Chain A
Amino acid sequence: MIKGRLLAALIFAVTVLLVVVGTRWPIPSAAAYAGGEQVVRTASTPEAAVNNLCEKIRSHAWDDAYNSLADKARFSALDFQHDLVGTYPGLLTYSNLDSFEMQPLHASASEAEIRLRLKWATVVGPSVVTRQLRVVRDGDRWQVEWPIASQPPLAPQVIPVNYLRWDVIDRGAGDDWGMQNVDAPHVRIVDMHPVQRAEGTVILGELLNDDIYPAYVSVTATLLRKDQTAIASEGSFDKISHVLLPKQVTPFLIQFPDVTLADVGSVRMTPFSSLIATSADPVIEIQGQHMSPAPDASLSGQLVNQSGQVANIAHVLATFYDQTGQVVWVADQYVDRALLPQTPSPFNIHIPEDLARKIASERTVVASYSFRGAES
């Protein structure tokens, strides 16, 4: 009987011990559900304070995150939330913070500076936002001062628009889209180059809408061996502007991961086009475009939405040429803030170091998406 009670006590004690171990040092899967590896931390260091703030942002606990700030009196919780994910619906609005990195820049007994990289998981791919934070000591804990960047509200105004629009009369919703029994718009590939990169083979080029109607376009490339057997076939996916107005040109980039260019005998390009109902609205102008040389080569500038409607997500595609006018690279960036009418919004496209020196000129096109309806 005594042995039995000892056994009961032992089972009870071991169970409690295992629960304590599992809670104090959670296994990876448990930690992930609890919101991070170091779940509960006191803000006893500047890094811990920033970590706690990011965990709150990750779990969309906006009020908690706001209340943990040292300078919250300067702005409201809503301002803070809008600063993070945008006032108007944009790329970050429905995204989640996937990870974050901290880089301490300077620290003293009472304050510290930390560069914070927030990596958001957006529907079109990861988006990285960098902020420089000041962290201040308050007694035995540290608090973050948030560098708020409020967006001024739009002034009421009337913006006249006068844009072209094309409609397509088809046989009804029962038909496959794009099967209107008329000739497809004439498009042609005006440039194409296979390039070997570290991640595999890349096909770069440009496609021109040679017609007088707008076209929906896409490009598929098939790599062939020397004996003409297929290695792989891939499409341009989102590395192209799929809607081309008459005489418009779009760059395209097609990736073949794990394929070596030396194995490729030839490339079969298959452009596709069909009629599309579209309009020239919204017109997005590119201002102040300039190239920064290597190191950290990039193309930057500002997008200005000339229309009266918000363009929620903008996609900037840049084509880079060498001195002979050949395409040497195609790069893109999704702008994480909505483009408000007449309001400049910056973009910055990174250029690979080894290619930057070859670039002599560039050309940029912008595609956009609005939540009120698909537009370009």
Chain B
Amino acid sequence: MQNSESNTWMQRSIPISLILMTVLAVHLPLLLLMLPLKSYDTNFHIFFASHYAHHWFNPWNTKWYAGFTQTTYPPLPQQWVALISPLFGLDLGYMAIQFVAILLLAVGVYRFSSLWVSPRAASFAALASVFLGSESFLVYSAGQLPTTFAAPIYLNALPFLFEWVRYQNWRSFLKASALFTAAAAAHHFTLLFGSFFFAIPVVVLAFMDRTDGHTVSMRACALRTVLIVAVVGVAIAIVLLPFWIALFRYPVTQVPIPHPSRANYILSPQWGLNYFVIPYGAMILALPYIILRGSTMGRLRPLLFGFWIAFLLGLGGTTPVGHWLLGRAFDVLTMERFSYWATLLALPFVGMLASELVARFRAPAAFALSILAAGTCAAAVGWVTWHPADAQDFRVNEVASWLNRDGHDNYRYVTLGFGNKLSRLSTLTDAGSVDGEWNSGRKLPELTHYGVGALTSSKYFGEAGLDSLRAMLRHADYYGLKWVIVRDHYYDPLLWFAGWRPVDYLDDKTIAIWSEDGVPPATAVNAAQIPPRWQGLMWGTLPFGSSVIAILLLLIPARKRRRILQEYPFPINEEDLAPGRLAS
């Protein structure tokens, strides 16, 4: 009797509530510790959110690049942070939205995996998503809220896409369309590349499954696919119209900026550790299984191909694939997001492997898998401490206070040696800078012609970086650039010989403020790029509205359908054959 009970327990799916509780137990404490604040980009997204909090309907932000438009970056997660910031504050608001994204990921992985594998394997996949190295890497080390926010929305949309293409379920059509649009409003690249890696395999699966049970013609499936692509395409075109206008008027033509995710991970093993070992973690051990199972089971082949292409692109410059497939975009995009998508695509396989191992070896397998999962997650979370985005931790509050007082904010400033603290400082001060951390939003020729990132780190870009800094300092009068706030005294000789003088010292004299005499107060210099008011209204209404509509549509109950299951050519448990329906 006891044995039988034990067998039943071992064959049952892990309840989604338990998986969500695991998310709560693992990630909530880390987020409450504000660990993402140490990451590369978290402060950048908080800076954008801060602007929305003060100017919801005006995307023109004067704090960077002497003025730039935030319509160059899809706004959804940042607007959600801004919306709840009156309650939580910006920092905690960011953590709250990030937490929701991780919760949604677990649900999304379960629903997406259910398309490919048994509910039990899907539940293992969802549980594995909680410990996913790439997720923790992006959340705690990279700080990529939009990517980690858009991917779960996208994953949750895919089962509806399947239901629509396969069964012509109109409720699913509406839900899929709304979720895809919301995902695009969160992160455009996720939608663009997700279409290739995630949506095409799901559509192919719907085509493959069309003869099971209720048969549908190829033509009908194709028409449904075309219809949803057209509707979603139009919806995204409208919702992100200011983004497309900005992209069309000011295409990104600046010289590409080097990024270590494009390195060869064998020739540069330190980057291999950062962009391959940490994000994949113990999943590396499952790679042979993924290839073998994906190849031998016809139904899983579309998923395997999606995974394989994302995997190769995620290897950056280790293979020439990215260079061949993406062309110039390879030198603009960062590659870690491809590894993230690859790991998400691998999760159904991982769930299947875990399910098989536990069915076969029981408690020892469960124990070993738990250790591997915990180790993967711990390494990725710890990575932010072992390999910090900014080696020197310091507070910028004193600098912000200095800029905010005595009319100093009538002039623009630039920081040197502040790393990604620039976003933090920009959030806290009213003064504007000629620098910034959103490279695609900048239009100043002194910044776009040299192929370098932020001026604050110009020395790391070699001669080009220093040329860019010198070009900017030459035009200090034009930009009203009166303050250079220096934390890295490497730059002192340049400032001295260019006629700047130290005028004040802050933070126990570790920060010097240099000034140039005769600089006139800052005036608007990019007026032609200011989006018209109607674009501001659209930007403040439609992207956020798309997420509200998606939430409302999800409240419509799904029509119950018994899922037609595939006979898998590998040993499966009774539980795997149990009929069910897609979670919604």
Using a CB–CB cutoff of 8 Å, the interface residues on chain A facing chain B are 1, 4-5, 7-8, 11-12, 15, 18-19, 21-23, 25-27, 29-34, 39, 91, 94, 96, 98, 121-126, 173-174, 176-178, 216, 218, 220, 233-238, 240, 242, 272, 274, 276, 312-313, 315, 334, 367, 369, 371, 374
Contact = CB atoms under 8 A, between A and B. Distances in A.
B493 A18 contact: no
Nearest to B471: A237
Contact of B319 (A5, A22, A173): A22
Given A23-B264, A123-B494, A237-B498, A178 B406 contact: no
A124 B462 CA distance: 12
Q: State the majority secondary structure of interface residues on A.
A: mixed
Question: Which of B264, B296, B492, B493 counts the most chain A CB atoms within 10 A?
Answer: B493
B86 interface: no
Nearest to A120: B463
A23 B501 contact: no
Given A12-B291, A367-B497, A235 B459 contact: no
Interface string B502-538: 1110000000000111100000000000000000000
A312 B496 CA distance: 12
16 contacts: A4-B296, A7-B296, A12-B288, A18-B320, A22-B315, A23-B266, A33-B258, A39-B267, A121-B462, A123-B493, A125-B470, A173-B503, A238-B499, A242-B499, A276-B501, A369-B497
Contact of A29 (B258, B319, B496): B258
Contacts of B260: 33
B16 interface: no
Given A19-B318, A220-B477, A26 B264 contact: yes
Contact of A237 (B266, B292, B296, B473): B473
Contacts of A23: 264, 266-267, 318
Nearest to A1: B296
Contacts of A274: 517-518
Given A31-B264, A177-B501, A240-B499, 13 more contacts: A4-B295, A11-B308, A30-B263, A33-B271, A91-B493, A121-B462, A121-B463, A125-B470, A126-B463, A178-B501, A238-B497, A274-B518, A369-B492
Contacts of A216: 499, 501, 517
Contacts of B295: 4-5, 7-8, 11
A8 B318 contact: no
B489 to A, nearest CB: 8
B390 interface: no
Contacts of B515: 176-178
A374 B459 CA distance: 20
A235 B266 CA distance: 47
Contacts of A233: 477-478
A21 B569 CA distance: 36
B466 interface: yes
Interface residues of B, number: 62
Given A27-B320, A218-B517, A374 B501 contact: yes
B490 interface: yes
Contacts of A125: 466, 470
Nearest to A274: B517
A34 B321 contact: no
A89 B473 CA distance: 24
Contact of A26 (B259, B317, B473, B491): B317
A26 B517 contact: no
Nearest to B512: A374
A272 to B, nearest CB: 4
Given A11-B295, A121-B463, A237-B474, A29 B262 contact: yes
Given A11-B291, A22-B320, A374-B502, A123 B262 contact: no
A140 to B, nearest CB: 24
3 smallest beta-carbon distances between A and B, as pairs: A30-B317, A4-B296, A33-B263
Most A Cβ at <10 Å: residue of B459, B497, B518: B497
A88 to B, nearest CB: 14
Interface string B285-326: 000100110111110010010001000100111111101000
Contact of A173 (B301, B504, B516): B504
Contacts of A34: 263-264, 267-268
A108 B301 CA distance: 61
Nearest to B300: A4
B430 interface: no
Contact of B317 (A33, A91, A124): A33
A134 to B, nearest CB: 29
Contact of A235 (B271, B477, B491, B496): B477
Contacts of A234: 474
B575 interface: no
B331 interface: yes
B36 to A, nearest CB: 26
B473 A21 contact: no
Contacts of B493: 91, 123-124, 312-313, 369
Interface in B245-290: 258-260, 262-264, 266-268, 271, 288
Contacts of A121: 462-463, 466
Nearest to A15: B312
A198 B304 CA distance: 59
B415 to A, nearest CB: 16
Interface string B454-483: 000001001100100010011011100000
Contacts of A94: 490
B171 to A, nearest CB: 36
Nearest to B463: A121
Contacts of B569: 1
A123 B489 CA distance: 11
A238 B498 contact: yes
B459 A30 contact: no
A167 B266 CA distance: 59
B491 to A, nearest CB: 6
B393 to A, nearest CB: 22
A272 B519 CA distance: 11
A374 B267 contact: no
Given A8-B295, A176-B503, A238-B498, A30 B316 contact: yes
A315 B331 contact: no
Contacts of A236: 499
B518 A272 contact: yes
Contacts of B294: 8
A178 B316 contact: no
A133 B500 CA distance: 40
Contacts of B330: 29
A333 to B, nearest CB: 12
Given A21-B319, A216-B517, A315 B258 contact: no
A34 B497 CA distance: 34
A315 B296 contact: no
Given A123-B490, A123-B491, A178 B517 contact: yes
Contacts of A30: 262-264, 267-268, 316-318
A101 to B, nearest CB: 15
A33 B264 contact: yes
Nearest to A12: B291
Nearest to B494: A123
A121 B494 CA distance: 12
Contacts of A18: 312, 319-321
B504 A29 contact: no
A234 B478 CA distance: 9
A7 B304 CA distance: 11
Q: Which of B288, B296, B330, B496 lies at the interface centre, i.e. has the most chain A CB atoms within 10 A of its CB?
A: B496
A27 B291 contact: no
A29 B331 contact: yes
A33 B125 CA distance: 35
Contacts of A371: 489, 492
A27 B496 contact: no
Given A11-B295, A22-B318, A374-B501, A27 B323 contact: yes
B401 to A, nearest CB: 12
Contacts of A19: 266, 315, 318-319
